[in-house]
Structure 1
Amino acid sequence: MQKSDLVLSPGLSQGLGLALMIGTGLLCLALAYMIKTRLVRNTHDFIISNRRIGLGFGVGSIISVWTWAMAVMMSTAMTYQWGLSGLFWFVVPNGFAVMAVVPLAKILRRRMPAGYTISQFIFSRFEQSKVTSGVVTITMIFGIILEILINLKGTAVVMSTVFSIDWRLATMVTVVVVLTYSYFGGLWTSVMTGTLNTWMITVPAAIVIVAVFGMIDGGATAVFDTVDASKPSNLSIMNADAAAGFGITLAFGLLAATVADQTFWQKVWAIRPNQVARTFLWSGALFYPIPICFGMLGLVALAYGLTPADVGGDIVAVGPYIVSHIGLPLILILAYVLAILAACYSTIDGASSALSSIVAVDIIKRYAPKTSETWLFYITKLSVLIGGIVAAAIVLSGADFTSLVLTTYALKTSILLPLILAIVWPRTNTVGFVGGIVLSILIGMPLRAMYGELAGTLAIVGISGGAVIVAGLLSRRSFDMNNLGVKQAMRLEG
């Protein structure tokens, strides 16, 4: 197995790549227009789907927003960088992070059945503290922008690697395509196109990976034997360097990416109450095969002896490079690209929908409660476009994909324990909540820069959780969860 055997497959023109991107978007646009006509009549429909999402669409939509560029491309990159230890540390926390939402979701759906956003919960939980809710709102918006830009970056990487499309052009096309159809249907569009995209991710993934191994003399056995002969530790899941280098940071970040992300809380309040737990449990379990399949491409890259320089310097391009250079039929290469486009598009769509709910509930209705329904509807939809434009501007700066992911998760980790404690521990107070988040970022991020991912992540977790606990123990006040207010939600629904 020599990397000189890897040659770009013929027929992968820029025009074909652009047609694939635009064609996928047009399909989603047609679906979005149908949804808008039949299901979206006001802001409530746009941001919460009238709380009528069932098990099937719920599972499909959650898997699609969780199977973003990171899942389909970073799983390959981490396997390439760390071997099976990288795949282990990437896959195991991923599904668990989705399932971890269940106990918290059950508490809030019971205590705050007419809620819309996690920031709205914080506003009520801390007795209408605008400081506390403002910190959470800013954190949520920042996280959503980062989610959008990471998936824009993922699309740019795959299209530039497979079709030689300039990554800047790929970024701009993705922004225009996804935000156009997201603008029409809101959460209903995200849910239905996301379910369609889940099928576009899972089925091609399995077929393409089998075909890749079929192109190699000796198949999977030859790949594993070659990797073992080159570096046996790449076939071990017990590599401590992988855990310290990215695994622990990623594990906490993944938990934060579900527990502290409006993309998921929006669905908690949109899914029918009796289906919430089942939806998140099934979503977490059914997610696992996806990164495992894509991760195998990392072992193939190791077997061929690829270096980062061979794929343009960014190791997330390893998967697209293997698929487009190993000699697969054109139809299978296109199926792989469609799977990644589906993953990126659906996550950008879901994040945009989450952003619209934050703008409507936590900004407009909180600070300008007399805004008319007509203006609220237009402002909410406009926020989708603004979020995409901001994210695209950041992507065009040329930031590294892996660094974006790990930095995003490090920042999100700062809110993980304060938010969980706010839900389950009545003595959590404003000083501890805000202080924990702010101090963990101010102290933890510099430590991360100086001493690495592991030290920085543990510092962020320890400081954020410790501040909440200390402040709570020093105070004698407890919050009664039965007092959660839902006046904002009632105004929107009414």
Structure 2
Amino acid sequence: MSVLQPRAGNADLSARIEPPLSQTVGYIVVVLIGMIIAFVMMMITKVLTITVGEDNKKTEMFMTANRTVRTGLTTSAVISSWLWSTALLGSGLVGYTYGVAGPFWFAAGCSPMIVFFALLGISCKRKIPEAHTSLEVVRVRYGRIAHIVYMILCLINNIFACTNMLLGASAVIASMTGMHIIAATFLLPVGVALYTFVGGIKATFLTDYFHTVVILIVGCYFSVKAFTYPEIGSIGRLYDLVKAASERHPVAGNEQGTYLTMTSKDAILFGILHLCANFGLVVMDTSYFIKAFSASPAAVVPGYTLGGIAYFAIPWGVGTIMSSVALGLENQPVFPTYPRRMTTSEVSNGLVVPYAALTLAGKGGAAAVVLIIFMAVTSTLSAQVIAVSSIISFDIYREYFNKSATDRQIIHWSHFGVVFFALFSAGFSTMLYYAGADLQWTLYMLGVVTCPGIFPMAFTVLWRRQNTIAAITSPVLGLITGMAVWLGTAQRFHGEVTVSSTGQVLPCVYGTVASAFSPILYSVAITYLAGPQNYDWADFQKERLALEKLGDDLTTGHHNKDNSAVISEEQSTPLKDRTKELKRWGRIAAFWSIATFLGHWVLWPLPMYAARYIFSKGFFIAWLVVAIIWLWGTMLVATFYPLFDGGIQQMRQVYQYWKKRREI
């Protein structure tokens, strides 16, 4: 096991440093900046309603942006969807704990399933184009019992995802500003609720873009600042500092105890854990399906593929640099905790990156981290809020209480869902905080509760044989199996079942793997024992789910201000050719899914693990140079691609509208 293990996060809080920023800064970032962003997004929403007819009083616009979001904005939204506070804080945490292998496995645990979702997304666009949520797909195929089961699983996924984000973000904000951690937990969702309440999914896409750009600019700044800092000066000097840290504090389970190797037993166990957990977070997160349904058919595959590959650089590059800075400078007076090492609580609460930033740039660095953590948590929280809002409005209210619900009624319940879940997620996070949970505990155990539905949900749109009984029972049995293995192994390895023991690496790995893969066996066995289904995919399209007519094709065009469809070149293509085109996108998505997994999980890291290779100075320099170039490339793609792919055109439309108004 590694030197630093997760445990209850509140045990040694008294050992933390004095907050470098005042509480006023914390409240300015969390409340004032949050309100300003919310106000700006509401104004943009109002302008788009007036000028280009994006009416958020219409359900299709509020929930799916009329299914016309282009590749650039989709790419930015995909990157943002995984720019959790966990990604920024957790990658530094595992880098500090395991060395260079930690941030790599963190990144490799995210990118393959983001790209894989392109396959699920395009399959849904082709087979059931009018859907708003993944749960509607389940209900249409398997009926109401399955619908309720998957609804509960998706809500569990959303709740724990939000908790993971809020616990990490509020801990960092409290540590850097002295703001009370519970105040941060409850105030963080306020701005999110405001702009999501007004702007719906399009506001989520726009704030995703803005927040992603700011976060990446700050990340790129630290990628340069680290090597202009006098005590470091160069990548080669950073290598020497990390090598010296390995000699002072060898890592159990790493080749020769060094931080500078991919041969790390605990890191690869974390990689397996993170990969499975993130598959659950993607497949069982209705916000991913909403964004896929919101994207135009031609944007789904390139948007998710490019976004997934670009995202890889963020946890890999930022996590490696900032954790290396913390390890290398921890024994020097410039580091905030000097002369002691960081405590287990500080590490497990995600303070590696904030402490490294404070070292490199003083109070300005601390303020920058507070800002990007705030933006990361609010951006991803917005997606979670809109996801739960869609479940409450479409899958509960419209399905079980008012089948003939109007736009106004559905929007009303969507607004209720936004406010309710923002408050509930803060309350649930507070409960876990007082129970002793922290960022690392939720990061490690997340997969146990998010993974059981992965394969049954994927089979719903990819395998026509899975029958209703298998679809209903396999995720439930998988959850029971995963929980039993998780708690059983905690008792077996640590002699007790507590927050501390259930947050250890091995119980979480065993529990997550059991949760993820046992449903495959249950689904296949039950399907063939009870009799396979031979589902006709055409039956999906018999169900009328959209509140507005989408046209006689598989796409939806842009709408004029009078809500009349603008017939695009894509829509004017014969239906047979459009179906053929979507199948072609499906093959492309399958290829990139396999290629990304093989590249990020097999061909690159495993030979390095097997070779027991310890980084030389030259190799470490090359490793970081590639990571930094990739990180800057991600920043350029996320910043400028959405502008060139429709953003400038839409700004021109707004300008032309106001120009005509002035002439009149």
TM-score range, shorter chain: over 0.9
- Out of 59, 63, 68, the residue aligned to residue 52 of structure 1 is 68
* Paired amino acid for 1:73: L
Q: State the shift of 1:330 in Å.
A: 3.6
Contact 1:49–1:270 (Cα < 8 Å) also in 2 = yes
Partner of 1:402: 440
**TM-score normalized by the length of structure 2:** 0.69
Farther off after superposition, 333-342 or 301-310 = 301-310
Residue of structure 1 aligned with 2:404, choices 362, 370, 389 = 370
Partner of 1:489 in structure 2? 545
* CA distance in 1 between partners of 2:241 and 2:210 (Å): 33
Which residue matches 1:170?
Answer: 184
Shift of 1:91: 1.0
Q: Within 1, Cα distance between the matches of 2:277 and 2:75?
A: 22
> Which whole-Å CA distance do the structure 1 matches of 2:153 and 2:344 have between them?
37
1:71 and 2:83 matched:
no
Question: Would you say 1:336 and 2:369 are equivalent positions?
Answer: yes
Partners of 1:486 and 1:70 lie apart in 2 by 41
TM-superposed CA distance for 1:16, in Å, is 1.5
**Shift in Å at residue 315 of structure 1?**
4.1
> In the alignment, is the contact (CA less than 8 A) between 1:432 and 1:468 conserved in 2?
yes
Distance 2:369 2:317 in 1: 12
Q: Distance in 2 between matches of 1:313 and 1:229?
A: 20
Secondary structure of 1:489's match?
coil
Letter in 1 for 2:545: A
Higher alpha-carbon Rg:
2
2:217 is the alignment partner of 1:206: no
Structure 1 residues 284 and 486 mapped into 2: Cα distance closer, same or farther (>3 Å)? farther
**Structure 1 residue 488 displacement after superposition:** 4.8
Q: Which residue of 2 aligns with 1:96?
A: 112
**Structure 1 208/333 Cα, relative in aligned 2: closer, same or farther at 3 Å?**
farther
Distance 1:490 1:412 in 2: 28
In the TM superposition, what is the alpha-carbon distance from 1:98 to its structure 2 partner?
0.6
Q: 1:234 aligns with which of 238, 253, 259?
A: 259
2:351 to 311, 317, 328: 317
Question: Displacement of 1:86 after TM fit?
Answer: 1.7
| Residue 348 of structure 1, aligned match among 365, 378, 381 | 381
Contact 1:311 1:321 in 2 (8 A): no
Distance 1:79 1:11 in 2: 24
Report if aligned partners of 2:188, 2:374 keep a CA contact under 8 Å in 1. Answer: no
Query: Following the alignment from structure 2 to structure 1, what is the Cα–Cα distance between the partners of residues 346 and 547?
Result: 52
User: Is the Cα contact below 8 Å between 2:168 and 2:438 reproduced in 1?
Assistant: no
Matched letter for residue 247 of structure 2: A
Q: Deviations over 1:438-492 (max 9, x none)?
A: 1111122121122212222222233211011112223143111121146352336
Using a 3 Å threshold, how does the CA distance of structure 1 residues 181 and 43 change in structure 2: closer, same or farther? same
Structure 2 unpaired stretches of 5+: 1-15, 251-256, 332-339, 490-506, 551-664
In 2 relative to 1, CA 161–213 (structure 1 residues): closer, same or farther, beyond 3 Å?
A: farther
Q: Distance in 1 between matches of 2:360 and 2:217?
A: 20
CA offsets, 1:101-125, max 9 Å, x none?
A: 1122221111111111111111112
Alignment partners' CA distance in 2, 1:366 and 1:77: 43
Matched, 1:62 2:78: yes
Instruction: For 1:383 and 1:417, locate their aligned partners in 2 and report how far apart those are by CA, in whole Å.
Output: 28
146, 155, 166: which one aligns with 2:169: 155
In structure 1, the partner of 2:45 is 36
Q: 1:478 aligns with which of 501, 526, 534?
A: 534
Matching residue within 106, 109, 124 for 2:125: 109
Shift of 1:322: 2.5
1:379 to 413, 416, 423: 413
Secondary structure of the 2:263 match is coil
Number of equivalenced pairs: 484
Give the Cα separation in 2 of the matches to 1:345 and 1:462: 32
2:145 to 131, 146, 155: 131
Q: Which has the higher helix share?
A: 1
What residue identity is the alignment partner of 2:45?
Answer: K
2:279 is aligned with 1:252: no
Q: Which amino acid aligns with 2:355?
A: Y
1:376 offset after TM fit, Å? 1.7
Check if 1:222 corresponds to 2:237.
no
Q: What CA distance in whole angstroms lies between the structure 2 residues aligned with 1:155 and 1:486?
A: 45
CA distance in 2, matches of 1:454, 1:29: 39
- CA gap 1:389/1:299 in 2 versus in 1, 3 angstroms: same
With over 3 angstroms needed to count, the CA separation of the structure-2 counterparts of 1:288 and 1:476, relative to structure 1, is closer
1:24 maps to amino acid: I
Give structure 1 stretches of 5+ with no counterpart: 1-6
CA contact (8 A) 1:114 1:486 kept: no
Percent identity over the alignment is: 21
Distance 2:177 2:19 in 1: 10
Which residue of 1 is the match for residue 291 of structure 2?
267
Q: How far, CA to CA, are the matches of 1:234 and 1:69 in structure 2?
A: 24
In the alignment, is the contact (CA less than 8 A) between 2:284 and 2:454 conserved in 1? yes
Q: CA deviation at 1:313?
A: 6.2
Find 1:467's aligned residue among 522, 525, 531.
Answer: 522
Q: 1:190 aligned to 204, 221, 227, which one?
A: 204
Q: 1:216 to 1:439 in 2, by over 3 A?
A: farther
The amino acid that maps onto 1:68 is W
Aligned AA (1:169): A
SS at match of 1:32: helix
Q: Which residue of 2 aligns with 1:3?
A: none
RMSD of aligned alpha carbons: 2.2
